[in-house]
Amino acid sequence: GAGVSQSPSNKVTEKGKDVELRCDPISGHTALYWYRQSLGQGLEFLIYFQGNSAPDKSGLPSDRFSAERTGGSVSTLTIQRTQQEDSAVYLCASSFLNQPQHFGDGTRLSIL
């Protein structure tokens, strides 16, 4: 079956621009997660959505980062006024309740 789909797969933008990253979770999965993977580092939790509950935003590094999940399915991660330190691979995962998380292949974001 279809896995987690992320788009775009690569994004290059200039410092100061806004970017939107999209995640389509596995159908039927109630939970959706965003992580960030910087070069040579482990995955860093950003935000978590579970059903209609308030999202856990505790991992967002600054108020330039925000995310939404519409209709309990597709999610968009938005980074405003991008900085060079935002360059990383942004990974989305989904799961059914507290079952293991399944990841997409990520969006590689490069800030010039």
Partner 1 sequence: EDQVTQSPEALRLQEGESSSLNCSYTVSGLRGLFWYRQDPGKGPEFLFTLYSAGEEKEKERLKATLTKKESFLHITAPKPEDSATYLCAVQFSGGYNKLIFGAGTRLAVHP
Phi-psi region at 105: left, alpha or beta (left = phi > 0; alpha = psi -120 to 50): alpha
- Tell me if 98 contacts partner 1 by CB under 8 A: yes
- Tell me if 56 contacts partner 1 by CB under 8 A: yes
- Tell me if 95 contacts partner 1 by CB under 8 A: yes
Q: What is the DSSP string of 16-37?
A: T--EEEEEEPPTT--EEEEEEE
Report the candidate in 11, 32, 17 with the shortest Cα–Cα distance to residue 109: 11
The C-alpha angle with vertex 65 and arms to 96 and 63, in degrees rounded to 5, equals 125
**Minimum distance, C-beta of residue 62 to partner 1, in the bound complex (Å):** 18
- Tell me if 1 contacts partner 1 by CB under 8 A: no
- Tell me if 75 contacts partner 1 by CB under 8 A: no
**Minimum distance, C-beta of residue 47 to partner 1, in the bound complex (Å):** 9
Which residues of this chain interact with partner 1, rule CB under 8 A? 4, 31, 33, 35, 40-45, 48, 50, 56, 58-59, 91, 93, 95, 98, 100-106
